[in-house]
Amino acid sequence: MKKYFSIGEMSKLHNISIETLRHYDRVGILKPEYINEKTGYRYYSTQSFITIDLIKKCKAIGLSLEEIKEIKNDYTSLDSILNIIKNQKHIIDKKIVELNNIKKSIQNLESSISEALDVGINKFFIKYNKERKLKKYTYTRRYTEEFEIQLRKSLREIEKEYNCSDVKIAFETSYDGIVKQNELIYTKAMLELDCNVLINEEDIVTLKEGNYLTFYFDDNFYDNKKYYHNVIEYIKNNNIDVIGEFYEIYEMTRVSSNGEVKSLAKIEILLK
């Protein structure tokens, strides 16, 4: 006589919740072999064990219930099964790339915050940087709605075309503007992309290799002018020879529940 197993017994035997077994019944991938008409209780046979093994194997490689159902309905076609597995492998490969990009973004942000905390906010230090290539952003009128709108459009295009969302916003600021005119004059706006993007030569801004006087601040970016004065004063007081323009690079901006904005950013300038 064939032995039947209640849904509770199946649940314990295969480490699958009763609700999951009921769901498998509803979607049609694991029907009970026998249902008691009087009690409505579901019963399964050892034949169901094979189906559960198949479901577990398919779920282990990330297949959806719909794909499992397709394999079950066309179980004799190895070609069909192979195509589903190949497609799943392609999906997983894409996810691995995405996760690696996320991990890299986390590591970069962790490194920036750790560096800022290690050297100290509002503290000066010398940092060696390799040559850096940034994407030029043509709209330089900062602190305007138009700047923000156009910037978001550029970021959206980069994210859509290159699947790259880890972008730092940077500015080139005139040294003479702040020293001689006491004005922040932004001569370039740039995007530092942490992904492999092909950029036309005319759209590239190259930050030279070398030692940079560097200064982290953590404040509302509207209040950044005072930090430039701090840097200028430090350069004068310590007779430091610098070359070129200032670079203002934003690591992270956050907003509090009451709308207060703070940005972790750094100001740097190349030493002679």
Predicted confidence (pLDDT) per residue in 181-203, tens digit: 999 988 888 888 766 655 666 77
What secondary structure letter does DSSP report for 121? T
Cα–Cα distance list, 65 to 23, 72, 75 (Å): 10, 10, 15
What is the percent of the chain with per-residue pLDDT over 90, rounded to a whole number?
46
* Domain range list for the chain: 5-75, 121-271
Q: What is the rounded distance in angstroms from the CA atom of residue 241 to the CA atom of residue 238?
A: 9
Out of 2.40.50.140, 3.40.1030.10, 3.40.640.10, 3.20.80.10, the CATH code matching 121-271 is 3.20.80.10
Say how far apart CA 189 and CA 249 lie, in whole Å: 10
- pTM of model > 0.85: no
Give per-residue pLDDT as tens, 92-113: 998 898 888 888 889 989 999 9
Check residue 77 and give its pLDDT.
78
| Alpha-carbon torsion, ordered 124, 130, 131, 135, to 10 deg | -70
> Which backbone phi and psi does 206 adopt, to 5 degrees?
-100, 125
Helix (H, G, I), strand (E, B) or coil at 269: strand
At 142-154, the pLDDT tens digits run 767 777 787 777 7
Q: How far apart are the first and last CA of the chain?
A: 92
Mean pLDDT of 50-60: 90
Specify whether the CB–CB gap between 244 and 269 falls below 8 A: yes
Question: What are the structure tokens assigned to 195, written together?
Answer: 């992904």
Task: Grade residue 55 by pLDDT with cuts at 50, 70 and 90.
Answer: very high
DSSP characters over 61-84: TT--HHHHHHHHHTTT-HHHHHHH
What is the Cα–Cα distance from 51 to 63, expressed in whole angstroms?
Answer: 15
- Identify the three-state secondary structure at position 35: strand
| Secondary-structure class of domain 5-75 per CATH | mainly alpha
Q: Which residues pair with 215 in a beta bridge?
A: 124, 267
Task: Determine the distance from the C-alpha atom of residue 24 to the mean position of all C-alpha atoms in its chain, rounded to a whole number.
Answer: 35
- Residue 198's pLDDT is 58
DSSP bridge pairs for 246? 173
Q: Model confidence over 4-42: pLDDT tens digits?
A: 899 999 999 999 999 999 999 999 999 999 888 888 888
Cα-based torsion angle of the residue sequence 36, 41, 43, 48 in order, rounded to the nearest 10 degrees: 130
Tens of pLDDT, residue by residue over 157-174, are 777 766 666 788 899 999
